[in-house]
Amino acid sequence: MPQPPTRGAPAAHTAPATRLTYDYVTRTIAGTLGNPGRGYYALLGSAVTLLAIGIVCLLYLLRYGLGLAGYSMPTYWAVFITCFVFWVGIAHSGTLISAILFLFRSGWRTAVYRVAEVMTVFAVMTAGLFPLIHIGRQWYFYWLIPYPNERGLWPNFKSPLIWDEFAIGTYFTVSTVFLIMGLIPDIAAVRDVATGWRKKLYAITALGWRGTNEQWRHYRPAYLYIAALATPLVLSVHSVVSWDFAMAQVPAWHETIFAPYFVAGAIYSGCAMVITLLVPMRKFFRLEEIVTVHHFENLAKLILLTGMIVCYAYVVEYFVAWYSGPTPERAAFWYRAFGPFWWAGWTMNVCNAFLPWLLWSKKVRTNITALFVISIFVNVGMWMERFVIIAIHLAGEPFEPWVKHGYNPTWADWGIMAGSFGWFFMWFLLFVKNFPAVSVAEVKEELPPPGGRARHT
């Protein structure tokens, strides 16, 4: 394995006050690929256990049908669709950090964007499972795909559900391609310091990258173009997800604010998940010098910004329900706050609308423990938000007088949800141990080059 990192002499430059050298960056990041210790294996073991619980529940569901998951009139979209929206939302901050902040030339993104991108790819992979679980007869999944079948029947392109399929499919493909593209120079860097079987693995996966001027000449602009394509894609995907609801006429769904509200919420939860993942990773892999408090503070600022938008959206939802005056809309929001699921409604309000106000304080933003705790509450809150919007508003449709007892999620719901967390964390943990989870080439861009900045000729 690579030799332990050596720290360079202090750089004599005015720009970023750092003791890092190119060599230190390469060796520290290559060092994350070794043996990460017991904590890592304990986490991986828990993830696999959760996944096993999810698989067992899913097998029961396949045998006995969706009634096992508490599906009953009128709640036919419930925990599975909640999990779908939650995981798609988690995926959003990845492309925000890797593509949008790349276009804005934010230097700090270099240290955290790989984690965010990996999170994106695995979160979309997790999200994609839920529509399949939700359709009940998983063996007919290919009916979703527009292909010429024997009945000459095509999907309905006016339905937001088919838009969603195109949006999620494109998002998964483009974010995977973007992740792999960013990885190639970094895999080449770890290939050149690795030994044994890893060297062979990286030699194949680096696709012959050597950092020649011809390679960089095509790579850099192409990276920019894909970032430019991915930027509107991020905003479109969660808008389309929100239209799955907003295009319907259920009270509290049929709102024009849904697209920006969902996009802000997605980035809010995604940035929180990046913090949740980065805090233990930084500790296990000793990345304290590369991922600093400054990076956490900037992530916290993104959470603060999007949290304020979410808070505004909540206020506007209640206000418009009252101000516009339709009885079903007013009743739906009364149900959200004071109905039998008041606890879910208030968890969502407290975690998403009140908690981010703490981040106005610089003391909180620079306290990593506080950020870690807040990030977990944000994720609980954002899951609850989707649960409230999807399941609770269906259960509480006030114009259906036969609805008496509403809806209750069952053990199958919770088991499969836990399984999705296991699935996501298993892939994430396997990735960070085997591929560079921090960009080697891009972190170096933020350092003063050896020999100083050359005069531009």
Q: Which residue in 60, 108, 216, 372 binds another protein (CB under 8 A)?
A: 216
181 binds another protein (CB under 8 A): yes
Which two tokens mark 9? Answer: 């002499």
215 binds another protein (CB under 8 A): yes
State in Å, rounded, how far the first CA of the chain is from the last one.
41
29 versus 348: smaller Cβ distance to another protein: 29
The sign of the torsion formed by the CA atoms of 376, 377, 382, 387 equals positive
DSSP 34: S
Q: Which of positions 235-274 make contact with another protein (CB under 8 A)?
A: 236, 240
b/e 236-252 (16+ beta carbons within 10 angstroms → b) = bbbbbbbbbbbbeebbb
52 versus 145: smaller Cβ distance to another protein: 145
188 versus 264: smaller Cβ distance to another protein: 188
The sign of the torsion formed by the CA atoms of 32, 34, 36, 40 equals positive
Question: Least distance in Å: CB of 321 to another protein?
Answer: 27
22 versus 334: smaller Cβ distance to another protein: 22
Q: Which residue in 19, 210, 286, 301 binds another protein (CB under 8 A)?
A: 210
Give 62-78 as a DSSP string. HHH-GGGGT-BTTB-S-
Size of site (CB under 8 A) for another protein: 66
Q: Which residue in 212, 249, 256, 369 binds another protein (CB under 8 A)?
A: 212
Residue with tokens 């390679």, as numbered in its chain = 215
363 binds another protein (CB under 8 A): no
CA distance 258 to 238: 10
Q: Which residue in 173, 327, 361, 408 binds another protein (CB under 8 A)?
A: 173
Number of neighbours of residue 84 by Cβ within 10 angstroms: 27
218 versus 363: smaller Cβ distance to another protein: 218
52 versus 181: smaller Cβ distance to another protein: 181
Question: Least distance in Å: CB of 24 to another protein?
Answer: 9
Question: Is the separation of the CB atoms in 42 and 355 below 8 Å?
Answer: no
Stretch that binds another protein, among 66-74, 122-130, 187-195, 394-402 (CB under 8 A): 187-195
108 binds another protein (CB under 8 A): no
Q: Which residue in 225, 319, 322, 399 binds another protein (CB under 8 A)?
A: 225
Q: Which residue in 45, 65, 211, 326 binds another protein (CB under 8 A)?
A: 211
Residues 6+ apart with CB under 8 A from 278: 112, 115, 291, 295, 296, 299
Burial of 43 (0-12, 13-18, 19+ CB in 10 A): middle
CA distance 262 to 266: 6
221 binds another protein (CB under 8 A): yes
38 versus 218: smaller Cβ distance to another protein: 218
Nearest to 66 by CA among 140, 134, 141, 139: 134
DSSP 341: T
337 binds another protein (CB under 8 A): no
CA distance 178 to 70: 39
* Tally of residues, the chain: 457
Q: Which residue in 35, 156, 256, 369 binds another protein (CB under 8 A)?
A: 156
Q: Which residue in 63, 105, 158, 404 binds another protein (CB under 8 A)?
A: 158
Q: Which residues pair with 72 in a beta bridge?
A: 75
| Phi, then psi, of 217 in degrees rounded to 5 | -60, -40
107 binds another protein (CB under 8 A): no
Binding site for another protein (CB under 8 A): 21-23, 26, 146, 152-158, 162-163, 166-167, 169-170, 173-174, 177-178, 181, 185, 188-189, 191-193, 208-222, 225-226, 229-230, 232-233, 236, 240, 440-442, 444-445, 449-457
